[in-house]
Structures are given as structure tokens and as C-alpha cells.
Chain A
Amino acid sequence: MSFLDIRHLQKSFGAHRVVKDFTLGIDKGEFVSFLGPSGCGKTTVLRMVGGFEAPTSGAVSIDGRDVTALPANRRKIGMVFQSYALFPNLTVAENVGFGLKVAGQGKAEIARRVAEMLELIGLPQLGSRYPFQLSGGQQQRVALARALAPRPEVLLLDEPLSALDAKIRVSLRDEIRRIQRDLGITTIFVTHDQEEALSMSDRVVVMHQGVADQIGTPFEIYNRPATRFVAEFVGTLNLIDADLVDAAAGHIRLAGVPVTLDRASPGRAGERISLALRPETVTLGRGGGDIVLPGRIAEVHFLGPVIRVRVSVEGGGSIALDTFNQADRLPPLIGAPVDISMSHRDLLVLAA
């Protein structure tokens, strides 16, 4: 059994089923992200783990203890909110020491731990400030320190970086991950930002309409999406139509070119199926793999380090691809004829 065990969790608000049969085991010290679009039930699952929402059915256990019926204030769970939720009437030090005071620890012990936590988040000199005197990033660090100070068994973060601007978001996410590793604390991190989820997590849970569509490492989620939703939600994707020639043998025709997939395809011969392809697996020119398609440059987007090019393929449809920017080479010209190439191994056949 895993350290944090979530079994068959369901939640309905009235007739609206928001979470449907959610099961997940998290190991001690693991960092797991919930990734999904707005309204898919990420927060609801997190709140059920935290004890702020009672599940309609299912169970949550921590370290072998069933905590499903335990109120939030007895679960030993640290929580960080999108809105920081620092106590405005208390100083930074008092905020961080709040949980320790509740636990009945002595003054000296609290002061020692608070200093240690402020050191950990890199704000040792701000203990006497009030929350409104801090920037958003500093407030969220303090909120993290406050959640971690009483040594919780599990840390829950609900979109902690969403209210911050882009630069701070990146630096703070690295810092959260560093602190999490240092302390070895079991963590669930909710986000709708795929870059955040992929870069920080040991495992990612992609949620869709109250269901965990796929649970896996960032590498698996990105390269082997289990469902069409995961493939479309994580990263950018080309969707290409192809004609099925022989389903069992994986023979298809892609824009008129015969291709053999490395696994069987669902469907029957003569049907049209959808294939998915990441832009970075397509090469401009020949030499990128066994499939070569002729076409014409339709769009060029200069993104800085990469240039995203859309090529309209001669056999129909269009494919986006990424090439690296090189200072000594001009970007492709719109309308120019090109060949693009790719490997059949990078073609993803998606379950509907």
C-alpha cells in the first residue's frame, strides 16, 4: 500500500458528479501533480484529501491510517492556497509559528523552528513584517513555510503560482521543488499549467471531467499519451487524417504515402483514422526519418529559440513543425516548396 492512498473517490454536488472513481497511490516523498483544464475536479480531489470536503464515497488513508472521517485540523496536512491566505493580523514569524503554537510547543522551540523555516525559504530578515508589506512571491514563500513548519505528513498545493507573474513563477517553482526534495515530503501540486506539471513532478495525473485519464511520469505522459484528451491537452500536437489499409498489420496511407506503423491500429480497412504528431518530431527537409512528404510553407512563427513552421502537405492537410533558430540562417520563406520528414515511430495512434 502506498503512503498516501486515494481509493475510488467520488464526489457529487447535488446531481452533478464532479469526481468519478478517482484512485491513486502516492509513495512517501513523491511529488505528484494534478493537471487538467478548469473545472475538471482537481481542487475537489485535493480538498477531499485535505479534509475540507467530504467524499460521497471512497477512502483516503495516510501511512496506513484511514483518515476519511478525520476533520481537516487533525490530518497533519499542510496546505498552500492560490490566494496565499496568510493571516493579515499576524507577522510573518507569527504566521509561520501558528501551527506550532496550536500544537502547544514552547516559545523557544517555536522561535527556533520559525527561524529555520524562514532560512529555508530565503527570507530570514522578514520575520517582523506583516503580510501586506510583502510581494506576492514573498507571501507565497511564507505560506509554504507556514504549511511546512509543523512537519505535516503530506503537503497540498492548489495552484500556488497562478497569482504570480511569469518570472517569479519559474524561480518559485524550482524553489518549491528544491524544498520538497530537501524535506522529502509527500506532495500533491495542482496546476493547469502543463509546463509546471511536467518540469516539477515525479508523476503527473492528467484529469479530465472528474476522471484521471492518465497517471505517469512526465516522460510517459508527453511521449505516450493514453487518450486523445491527454495528447491534445499536454503539449502541442498535429492531428493528421490517414486512410487505414490493414488494421492488424498497421498499414496506412498518409497523405497518399504508404506507411507502416509499429503497432496495430484500431478500426477497419478503408476507415479514416487520426494520427497525432508532436511538432518537434518533424524535420524540415529530408533526413528526419522514413516518411517524406512534399509540401509548401504556409506560416512561419518566430518564437525566439525555436521557429514554428506550418507546412501545407501536397496530399492534403497541414503539419506544424519546430526548428531551432540559428543566427546565421534566415527563417524559411512563406510559399517556398519543401519536403518534410518524420519517423513512423513518432506517429501516435490515439484511442478515441
Chain B
Amino acid sequence: MTGRQLWSWLAVALGGLYFLLPLVGMFDFSMRMQRGVYSFQAYRVVLADPQFQQTFGYSVALALLTIILGILLVVPTAYFVRLRFPGLRPAIEFITLLPLVIPPIVIVFGYIRIYNTSSVLPLTGSWWGTNILLLCGYAVLSLPYMYRSVDTGLRTIDIASLTEAAQSLGAGWARILAVVILPNVFVSVLSGAFLTFAIVIGEYVFAALLNVNSFGPYMVWMGGNRAYEPSALAVVAFAITWACMGLIQLFTRFSKFSTARR
């Protein structure tokens, strides 16, 4: 083994340790709820907690709605920008990156200021309004991931020709988007969707400040009040995130038709 290889391996090993050690420690800790034995007791307690079921279910539902809203927002936008206004692409790309630059707390304070109970549109005053606000906020948070993955997907197909082919066969915009464009960027949409899912499931700032009982605040509450369960919860949340990543890989590889191979 040459010196250079040695250093490379060392760097990889150090990185791996940095990443894995806390995980292993946390997992180890989460298994020690019952004194003296290794067990999944903490997980049983967590999963059986009605609070967990309720907040988790709520967050999953919200994540799915966010994904749908994101798709409805991003796919047509990215498509028309590519097809008709390619000059606008840098501007749109910049806008979609803003949520990464502006902290969520700024956005949510802005929301609260604009939509508070004494405003013209008092969304924060009602259950429905708060949920809609949260949904819109999450759609904004997911923009950078959604837009980039959809835009990358659009690049792999010849949208101009496909659009014209569909038009010459009589199709209108709605049909072109739903039947021709969306299915062909579906894998990209999915990868954006899984990232969105992972973000929304664990999100804390928006939910806490809008006073919504979702999974994020529940995790924080757990962390402040219990010993072993938070670790179990963290492992569960972590597993969900990784399952999402795995699913992205899976769908990318085993999609029914391949747009990459042409």
C-alpha cells in the first residue's frame, strides 16, 4: 500500500468514526432502558405512546400534503421556465435557494406578523389557517430540493420535442404536464419528495412557533422529559430519513422505463 492510499484510508476511517460513533452510542443507550439487559423496551414505550402516534400521523399527513403542493408548484414552473423562459432560470434558481439562506425562524416570524389575528388575513387565528400556513411554509422549505431535482430531471428529456409531439396530437397543457412531463420526471420528483418528507417529519421551528403539535415538538418535549425514549425516538427518526434516501436510490434504479438509456 502506498503512502497516499494509507492517508486516504485513514481519512475515510476518521470520517466514518465521526459519523458513526454518536449513532452507535445513541443506539446503545436506547437499548438500556431495562436495567442489566439489552432490550427494545424504550422503542416499545415510544411506539405505544398515543402522543407519538398522533403527532407522527399528523406530520406524515402534513409531509404528504407538502409534497403534493410542492409538485403542483414546482413541476409546471420548472417546465415552463425551461420551455419558454430559459433566460429566467438563474433568477428562479436563486429564489428557490433562498430558504437555505434565510433561517426558518425569520420566515415564520414574517408569517406571524403578516397573518396574525389582527391582520387582514388572520390565518393564525384558526386551526385551518394555521395548518395552511404551516403547509405553505414547509413547501417553501422544500423548494430548494424539489426545484433542483425536478429541474435536473427535465434536463434528461427533450421537453421541447415531447411537448410539440403531444401538441400536434391535440393535447393541451394540463394533459401534457400530467401525462407526458410528470411521468418522465417522476423519479426526480420522488427524490425531491423523499427529501421533503425527511425535512417535514422532523421540523421543529415552524411547528413550535405556530403552536402546532407535530412530531418535531414532540421529540423535543420527549428530550426534555424522559431519559431513554428520546434516544429511541432519534434512532427511529434517523431510520426514517435513511429509509427515504434508500427509497430514492431504489426508485432511481428500478424504474419501469429508463429515460437515461436512450
Query: Real complex partners, A and B?
Result: yes
Mark B181-225 against chain A: 1 for CB-CB distance below 8 A, else 0: 001101000000000000000000000000000000000000000
Neighbouring B residues of A131 by C-beta, 8 Å? 257, 262
Question: Which of A72, A88, A98, A102 lies in contact with B164, CB distance below 8 A?
Answer: A72
- By the criterion of a CB under 8 Å from any partner CB, how many residues of chain B are at the interface? 25
B172 at interface (Cβ–Cβ under 8 A)?
yes
20 A-B Cβ contacts within 8 A?
Answer: A71-B167, A72-B167, A76-B170, A78-B168, A79-B164, A79-B165, A79-B168, A85-B161, A85-B162, A87-B165, A88-B257, A88-B258, A88-B262, A89-B180, A89-B257, A89-B259, A98-B166, A99-B169, A147-B168, A156-B168
Check if A132 sits within 8 Å of B168, measured CB to CB: no
With both beta carbons as reference points, the residue of chain B lying nearest to A149 in the complex is identified as B169
Most B CB contacts (10 A, CB to CB) among A51, A71, A89, A146 go to A89
CB distance from B172 to the nearest CB of A (A): 6
Check if B257 sits within 8 Å of A73, measured CB to CB: no
B158 at interface (Cβ–Cβ under 8 A)?
yes
With both beta carbons as reference points, the residue of chain A lying nearest to B173 in the complex is identified as A73
Bound together, the chains give a CA A88 to CA B184 distance in angstroms of 7
B89 at interface (Cβ–Cβ under 8 A)?
no
Given contacts A72-B167, A73-B170, A87-B166, 19 further A-B contacts (CB under 8 A): A52-B167, A73-B166, A73-B171, A74-B170, A81-B161, A81-B164, A85-B161, A86-B165, A87-B179, A87-B180, A88-B257, A88-B262, A89-B259, A102-B170, A130-B256, A132-B257, A132-B258, A132-B261, A156-B168
Known A102-B175, A130-B257; contact A85-B170, beta-carbon cutoff 8 A: no
Most A CB contacts (10 A, CB to CB) among B167, B170, B179, B258 go to B170
The interface size bin for chain A is: 20 to 34
CB distance from A93 to the nearest CB of B (A): 14
Check if A73 sits within 8 Å of B172, measured CB to CB: yes
Bound together, the chains give a CA A114 to CA B175 distance in angstroms of 20
A150 at interface (Cβ–Cβ under 8 A)?
yes
Check if A146 sits within 8 Å of B258, measured CB to CB: no
By Cβ-Cβ distance, the 5 closest A-B pairs, closest first, are: A99-B169, A85-B161, A79-B168, A89-B183, A72-B167
CB distance from B165 to the nearest CB of A (A): 4
Bound together, the chains give a CA A254 to CA B179 distance in angstroms of 67
Neighbouring A residues of B184 by C-beta, 8 Å? 87-89
CB distance from B190 to the nearest CB of A (A): 14
Check if A146 sits within 8 Å of B257, measured CB to CB: no
CB distance from B69 to the nearest CB of A (A): 23
Check if B168 sits within 8 Å of A77, measured CB to CB: yes
Bound together, the chains give a CA A86 to CA B158 distance in angstroms of 10
Question: Which of A50, A87, A88 lies in contact with B168, CB distance below 8 A?
Answer: A50
B64 at interface (Cβ–Cβ under 8 A)?
no
B46 at interface (Cβ–Cβ under 8 A)?
no
Known A87-B180, A147-B168; contact A132-B262, beta-carbon cutoff 8 A: yes
Neighbouring A residues of B157 by C-beta, 8 Å? 88
Complex interface residues of chain B between 241 and 262 (CB less than 8 A to chain A) = 256-259, 261-262
Neighbouring A residues of B166 by C-beta, 8 Å? 73, 87, 98
With both beta carbons as reference points, the residue of chain A lying nearest to B158 in the complex is identified as A83
Known A99-B170, A146-B169; contact A87-B162, beta-carbon cutoff 8 A: yes
Question: Which of A52, A71, A98, A130 lies in contact with B169, CB distance below 8 A?
Answer: A98
A336 at interface (Cβ–Cβ under 8 A)?
no
Complex interface residues of chain A between 264 and 303 (CB less than 8 A to chain B) = none
Question: Which of B161, B169, B256, B262 lies in contact with A102, CB distance below 8 A?
Answer: B169
A166 at interface (Cβ–Cβ under 8 A)?
no
Bound together, the chains give a CA A88 to CA B259 distance in angstroms of 6
Bound together, the chains give a CA A256 to CA B256 distance in angstroms of 74
With both beta carbons as reference points, the residue of chain A lying nearest to B186 in the complex is identified as A89
Bound together, the chains give a CA A86 to CA B166 distance in angstroms of 9
Bound together, the chains give a CA A99 to CA B176 distance in angstroms of 12
Neighbouring A residues of B164 by C-beta, 8 Å? 50, 52, 72, 79, 81, 85
CB distance from A238 to the nearest CB of B (A): 41
Neighbouring A residues of B165 by C-beta, 8 Å? 79, 81, 85-87, 143, 146
Complex interface residues of chain B between 139 and 177 (CB less than 8 A to chain A) = 157-158, 161-162, 164-172, 175
Mark A101-119 against chain B: 1 for CB-CB distance below 8 A, else 0: 0110000000000000000
Question: Which of B158, B175, B261 lies in contact with A85, CB distance below 8 A?
Answer: B158
Neighbouring B residues of A86 by C-beta, 8 Å? 165
Question: Which of B169, B175, B179, B261 lies in contact with A150, CB distance below 8 A?
Answer: B169
Bound together, the chains give a CA A86 to CA B180 distance in angstroms of 10
Bound together, the chains give a CA A143 to CA B166 distance in angstroms of 11
Bound together, the chains give a CA A78 to CA B257 distance in angstroms of 26
With both beta carbons as reference points, the residue of chain A lying nearest to B260 in the complex is identified as A132
CB distance from B65 to the nearest CB of A (A): 25
CB distance from B176 to the nearest CB of A (A): 9
Neighbouring B residues of A75 by C-beta, 8 Å? 168
Most B CB contacts (10 A, CB to CB) among A73, A77, A86, A146 go to A73
CB distance from A206 to the nearest CB of B (A): 26
CB distance from B37 to the nearest CB of A (A): 53
Bound together, the chains give a CA A101 to CA B149 distance in angstroms of 30
Neighbouring B residues of A83 by C-beta, 8 Å? 158, 161
Neighbouring B residues of A130 by C-beta, 8 Å? 256-257
Bound together, the chains give a CA A51 to CA B166 distance in angstroms of 13
Neighbouring B residues of A152 by C-beta, 8 Å? 168
Bound together, the chains give a CA A57 to CA B162 distance in angstroms of 27
Most B CB contacts (10 A, CB to CB) among A131, A132, A146, A150 go to A132
Neighbouring A residues of B259 by C-beta, 8 Å? 88-89, 132
Bound together, the chains give a CA A102 to CA B179 distance in angstroms of 11
With both beta carbons as reference points, the residue of chain A lying nearest to B165 in the complex is identified as A85
